[in-house]
Chains A and B, each alone.
Chain A
Amino acid sequence: MIETEHLTRRFDLFTAVDDLTLRVEPGEVLGFLGPNGAGKSTAMKMISGFLAPSEGCAAVCGHDVVAEPHAARLALGYLPEGAPAYAEMVPHAFLRFIADMRGLRGEHRRRRIDTVVEQLHLGPVLYQPIATLSKGFKRRVGLAQALLHDPPVLILDEPTDGLDPNQKHEVRRLINTIAPEKTIVVSTHILEEVESVCTRAVVIRSGRVVADDTPAGLLARSRYRNAVTVAIAEEIGNAIDVLKGLPGVTGIERAADGHSVTVFGEDGLDTAARVRECCQVQGWTVTALRAEGGRLDDVFRDITASETAA
């Protein structure tokens, strides 16, 4: 479990994290979202015990990270920003070093190293200097290091950054596999990641929480949540007026290609059925019809940009 209360960090004049109060329970995978410089990494650095808070406190499994750093760190696996690792070492020696630091011994140590090597497919590079590894392998070495002692709490700063789509999929699957018993915080700017691994999404901007919801809840804030995009062979200009007049349609937007429009429906309306029915009645040739669902990037932009403009 992770708890923070009024966690704040100031650098000179600038407040990186401002009054962050969070509680993350076991079984939760919290996606930490926000534009670059929003304070995600600073918040994670404080929870991991690297940076001291200017105000407020953070606790990992009930251990305050400042008052009981040792106990808090034992319970925590941390992947710092950029997945740093000692470049001159080979992954095997690196993992053994981390195991020593964490007090894993003998048979248990060997088993845990074997397990993470297998989980992250590090077998082929186990004896190559980390400096020579690809970005994807480096990231996975960092993840292996964080998972090594099988901690109840994991804080992963951009765990899939630099991975190719297959590797991303693998890492997300891994997170999903271990998630039920663990408390996990993942920071990311890849929004699809939130939908595929997170049970909860917290969006921060300028160090403050601006949204705390389930991914589905965030999606529901999208203006596209009940929208349908339709393309027809006929002149779109006339069609727009007809579609606009349909009951339950709240808005319409013409696409740049000139042939398709996005129709926004009010909540509870089956927009796709309504549009299809209308096309049949009008005798238009429908070349494409697509339900939009919510767009997370849209919500993200709305939430994180709105107040900066104001």
Chain B
Amino acid sequence: MRAIGAIFRRELTGYFVTPVAYVFLVIFLALMGALTFYFGGFYERGQADLGPFFGLHPWLYAFLVPALAMRLWAEERDTGTIELLLTLPVTTAQAVIGKFLAAWVFVLFALVLTAPMWWTVNYLGEPDNGVILAAYIGSAFMAGGFLAIGSFVSALTRSQVVAFVIGFVLCFLFLMAGYPLVLDAFRGWAPQGVVDAISALSFQAHFESIRRGVLELRDLIYFFGLIVFFLFANVTVIEMKKGE
């Protein structure tokens, strides 16, 4: 616990001593705002809700979260600090969790900074705040899912650019798993069960119901399971690649 805490604090502070945090926050908030108003038809819909705003989250996460996650392990391997870190009294799993939690809390911080959107709809009308809260919780879990994928990919390479590109593609595939883009690649030859299973992996499908205010346990379990799976894979990859 102590080691996780120390790594968590170091990582989180690390975001703010480099430009990473500020660049990420500014781009995240600017894109959220701009896209919600211009593409989401925020005013034109004439509804006081945050539907268009949350609809953007999966797409923004798909490329911003890999950008945040790319350095998590690739940088440690590139600079050799991984050897320092993993010879301290800490297990690889603790290190993975500490880093993941710091990045997650950072994304949650960015999410909290979108609160003006919520104030705005409350000022303009009477939205269902329960739905908004559910969507925020769902969004937080989805961000964790993307982040776990990004962290895993970052451990595969010592190049941050490679980690970003692969991370982005993988996140995008998970996002699109319910769409023909991905499903058509399997429909021709794979049994229907497999196609359904892939479709069930879609971030979009699980987030969509949450976004509408249906905060079902199975959707949260899906994201939680995904996080656990990829962090486990993350630990395995680090152990395997240490000797290289």
Interface residues of chain A, those whose CB is within 8 Å of chain B, are: 9, 11, 45, 48-51, 69-70, 73-74, 76, 78, 80-82, 84-89, 93, 97-98, 100-103, 145
The contact sample of 13 A-B pairs, CB cut-off 8 A, is A51-B242, A51-B243, A78-B84, A80-B80, A81-B80, A82-B80, A86-B14, A88-B14, A88-B17, A97-B6, A97-B10, A100-B2, A145-B84
Contact (A78, B89) CB under 8 Å given A93-B13, A100-B6, A101-B6: no
Residue of B nearest to A9 (CB): B243
Secondary structure at chain B's binding surface: helix, strand, loop or mixed? helix
In the bound complex, do residue A102 and residue B89 qualify as a contact, i.e. CB atoms below 8 Å apart?
yes
Q: Which of B83, B91, B242 contacts A80 (CB 8 A)?
A: B83
Complex Cα distance, B10 from A87, in Å, reads 12
How many of chain B's residues have a CB under 8 angstroms from any CB in A? Answer: 24
Shortest distance in angstroms between B97's beta carbon and chain A's nearest beta carbon?
14
Which residue of the partner chain, among A80, A85, A93, A103, contacts B87 with CB atoms under 8 Å? A80
Partner of B14, one of A50, A89, A100, A101: A89
Q: Which residue of B lies closest to A11 (CB)?
A: B243
Query: What B residues does A82 contact at CB under 8 A?
Result: 80
| Alpha-carbon gap, A15 to B190, bound state (A) | 44
- Distance in angstroms from A143 CB to nearest chain B CB is 12
Q: Does B27 contact A (CB under 8 A)?
A: no
Contact A103 B2 (CB under 8 A): yes
Are B83 and A98 in contact, CB atoms less than 8 angstroms apart? no
- Which 3 pairs from chain A and chain B are nearest by CB? A100-B6, A84-B80, A80-B83
> What's the minimum C-beta distance from B129 to chain A, rounded to whole angstroms?
40
Instruction: Specify which chain B residues have a CB less than 8 angstroms from the CB of A50 in the assembled complex.
Output: 83, 86-87, 242
Contact of B90 with A by CB under 8 A:
yes
Which residues does chain A contribute within 8 Å of B84, judged by CB atoms? 78, 80, 84-85, 145
- Chain A residues contacting B89 (CB-CB under 8 Å) are 69-70, 73-74, 101-103
B181 interface contact, C-beta 8 A: no
Choose among A78, A89, A100 the residue with the greatest number of B CB atoms under 10 Å from its CB. Answer: A100
Chain A residues, CB < 8 A from B79: 84, 86-87
Chain A residues near B242 (CB-CB < 8 A):
50-51
Report B's interface with A, CB cutoff 8 A. Answer: 2-3, 5-7, 9-10, 13-14, 17-18, 79-81, 83-84, 86-91, 242-243
Report the minimal beta-carbon distance from A229 to chain B, rounded to whole angstroms.
44
A49 in contact with B87 (CB, 8 Å): yes
Q: A11-B243, A86-B14 are in contact. Are A45 and B83 (CB under 8 A)?
A: yes
Which of B7, B10, B13, B89 has most A Cβ within 10 Å?
Answer: B89
A100 to B5, alpha carbons, bound, how many Å? 9
Give the Cβ gap from A108 to chain B, nearest Cβ, in Å: 15
Instruction: Give every chain A residue within 8 A of B6 (Cβ-Cβ).
Output: 97, 100-101
- Min distance, Cβ B94 to any Cβ of chain A, angstroms: 10
**A98-B87 in contact given A50-B242, A84-B80, A103-B2 (Cβ < 8 Å):** no
Contact check, A48 vs B87: say whether CB atoms are below 8 A apart.
yes
Extra contacts besides A78-B87, A88-B14, A88-B18 (20): CB < 8 Å = A9-B243, A11-B243, A48-B87, A51-B243, A69-B91, A74-B89, A84-B79, A84-B83, A84-B84, A85-B84, A86-B10, A86-B14, A86-B81, A89-B10, A93-B13, A97-B6, A97-B9, A100-B9, A102-B89, A145-B84
A69 to B84, CA, bound (A): 14
* Among A11, A51, A73, A88, contact of B88 (Cβ-Cβ < 8 Å): A73
Report yes or no: B87 in contact with A89, Cβ–Cβ below 8 A: no
Select the residue from B2, B14, B83, B90 with max chain A CB neighbours within 10 A.
Answer: B83
Residue of B nearest to A41 (CB): B83
CB distance from B227 to the nearest CB of A (A): 24
Nearest CB in chain A to that of B20: its residue: A88
In the complex the two chains form, what is the Cα distance from A97 to B91 in whole Å? 16
* Distance between Cα atoms of A69 and B91 in the complex (Å): 9
Which of A9, A74, A82, A97 has the most C-beta atoms of chain B within 10 angstroms of its own C-beta?
A: A97
Provide the bound-state CA to CA distance between A88 and B18, in Å. Answer: 7
Query: In angstroms, how far is the closest chain B Cβ from the Cβ of A49?
Result: 6
Q: Tell me the nearest residue of chain B to A70, going by C-beta.
A: B89
Contacts of A102 in B (CB 8 A): 88-89
